[in-house]
Amino acid sequence: MHSLDYIHRDIKPENFLIGNSPKVSTIYAIDFGLSKRFINPKSGEHIEHKKTNFAGTARYCSKNAHNKFQQGRKDDLEAIGNILIYLYNNGHLPWMMAENSEEYGSPRKLKNKTNTDTLCKDVPYPI
């Protein structure tokens, strides 16, 4: 998708399907409703990094998206990283406690406070 100059902007587990026999090793991305070109077709330049409206799913989106900045390829990749950590941690991310409780503040604030070392503290480092 990125090689075609588009970003997904709504990366979440529900938007991926796994093929069945004989394509059991194929993963399909679906739901391109929030997708957008990140390269301006007229100028060939990357879209401007500026404030915009929020797009995506709060649980998995990048910090950049939460802070309402225009998204790029790195934001899709950060969302994939959040999904992988979510799956590794049995369906938990540190900012999920704020999704249904005002006690912890907003998921955006908690996500912005969470650094990579904290987020990945239980994830094994590859050898």
The residues annotated as belonging to the active site are 10
User: Coil, strand or helix: which one is 27?
Assistant: strand
Question: At a CB cut-off of 8 Å and minimum separation 6, what does 64 contact?
Answer: 71, 74, 75, 78
For residue 78, what are the contacts with CB-CB under 8 A and spacing of at least 6?
61, 62, 63, 64
Residues 6+ away with beta carbon under 8 Å from 92:
86
Beta bridge partners of 69: 51
Contact 40/34 with Cβ under 8 angstroms?
no
